[in-house]
Amino acid sequence: MRAQVEECIEIIRPALQADGGDIELKDVDESTGIVSVTLVGACGTCPASTQTLKAGIERIMRDRVDGVTEVVAV
């Protein structure tokens, strides 16, 4: 599952980098399906980062990676 999450992040990353940000994978809990990430750069301080995380990153990961239940920022 971790490898699939990493592949998905590589798909998402260019969009974040285009806005001056990035994403770092911190942990994948395969038993709960929770993926922990850190948004950095412009994404780390953006007021819309929660929306980006939940409506964007989490939605994409849940669609593409079986077993992902939630994406949280740490």
Residue 42's identity, in one-letter code, is: A
Q: CA–CA separation, 44 vs 24, rounded Å?
A: 11
Domain ranges (residues) in the chain: 2-73
Domain covering 2-73, topology: GMP Synthetase; Chain A, domain 3 (3.30.300)
What are the C-alpha distances in Å from 8 to residues 25, 45, 65, 68? Answer: 11, 23, 8, 11
Pairing of strands 70-73, 21-29: unpaired
Digit-by-digit pLDDT tens for the chain (74 residues) are 999 999 999 999 999 999 999 999 999 999 999 999 999 999 988 899 999 999 999 999 999 999 999 999 99
Residue 57's identity, in one-letter code, is: I
For residue 62 the two structure tokens come to 């849940």
In terms of pTM, does the model score above 0.75? yes
